[in-house]
Amino acid sequence: MRANWRRHNRSRSFDPAEIEPRARAFLDQLVANGFARGRFEDLFGETALFDEAAAHAQRLYEQRGGERTAGDGKASYLAKLATGRFDASDPFVRIALHPAALAVANGYLRLRSTLRALELWHTWPTPGDAIQTQLWHRDADDVMNVKLFCYVTDVTRAAGPLTYAPGTHPLGDRRTRPAHDEHLRSTDEQMAQVVPAREWVVLEGEPGTVVFADTCGYHKQLKPESEERLKLVAQYVSGSPYVGRELELENLDASTLSEDQHYAAYDRGPV
């Protein structure tokens, strides 16, 4: 399947050999485990862009007034404070299209990726048992994909961090599917039959933490206990994903974009 996928995307081929050391450190973790974690400044080389994005995220949060959705399922604990349409000047866009972020995503996929989605997530604690994405699952948006998570708030266990089962990603050696329900969600007990619980990684982090993950590996949001979580999420896919794009970027100047950025922004190479 992966060989077929690569043939479909051969015009986007990307050689990770020349990736700079900062991105290489994240890429090596991602290839080995299915996830990578580090500091914003370790990848991007500065914090000013994060500070700008965090201030923007805080404004969006305050505009919503801490409102909680009274919906069912995933909507009962997660709201998207920004999604769909963005101006090129938006700090969220500048993070997602940054050469360092693209280097990690493209290096892992070994192709020039498309930025499929960009969102600001707000999650909060709810009563009851874990549901939906709080149970173990793997995404089926593409054969492989990369998600970038940038933590705006302090994401401790109480706030429900991303939790990952190492080696269950497409490049890993633990591809066995655990027992699951009709929605392909698995409990902790079922997941432990594939990857022992002691090996699960709870990806906690302070504001400014950056996490990359191939969510085609098994993961979940640890159910929040008492704290909220605010984070930026960018998703990178191939040119032949199984789902449509959920992003519109406005006022881009194509003449200023690198080849990698052009593919990410327009889903095609420069003319």
Dist CA 100 CA 258 (whole Å): 12
Domain hosting 151: range is 2-65+72-266
Q: What is the pLDDT of residues 79-93, one digit of tens each?
A: 999 999 999 999 999
By DSSP bridging, strand 35-39 and strand 114-123 are unpaired
> Would you say residue 68 has pLDDT above 80?
no
CA 151 to each of CA 10, 131, 209: distance values in angstroms, whole numbers, following the listed order: 33, 22, 5
Residue 233 lies in a domain: yes
Mean pLDDT of all residues in 215-229: 97
Q: Does 102 fall in a domain?
A: yes
271 is a domain residue: no
Residue 213, φ and ψ in degrees, nearest 5: -150, 140
pLDDT in tens, 102-131: 999 999 999 999 999 999 999 999 999 999
Report whether 9 contacts 238 (CB < 8 A): yes
**Per-residue H/E/C for the chain:** CHHHHHHHCHHHECCHHHCCHHHHHHHHHHHHHCEEEEEHHHHHCCCHHHHHHHHHHHHHHHHHCCCCCCCCHHHHCEEEEEEEEEECCCHHHHHHCCHHHHHHHHHHHCECCEEEEEEEEEECCCCCCCCHHHCEECCCCCCCCEEEEEECCCECHHHCCEEECCCCCCCCCCCCCCCCCCCCCECHHHHCCCCCHHHCEECCECCCEEEEECCCCCEEECCCCCCCEEEEEEEEECCCCCCCCCEEEECCCHHHCCHHHHHHHHCCCCC
pLDDT at 65 over 80: no
pLDDT tens-digit readout, 240-269: 999 999 999 999 999 999 999 999 999 999
Residue 14 lies in a domain: yes
Supply the CATH number for residue 79's domain. Answer: 2.60.120.620
Per-chain mean pLDDT for the chain: 96
d(CA 100, CA 260): 11
Examine residue 243 and state whether it is found in any structural domain, yes or no.
yes
Structural domain total, the chain? 1
Give 75's pLDDT tier (boundaries 50, 70, 90): confident
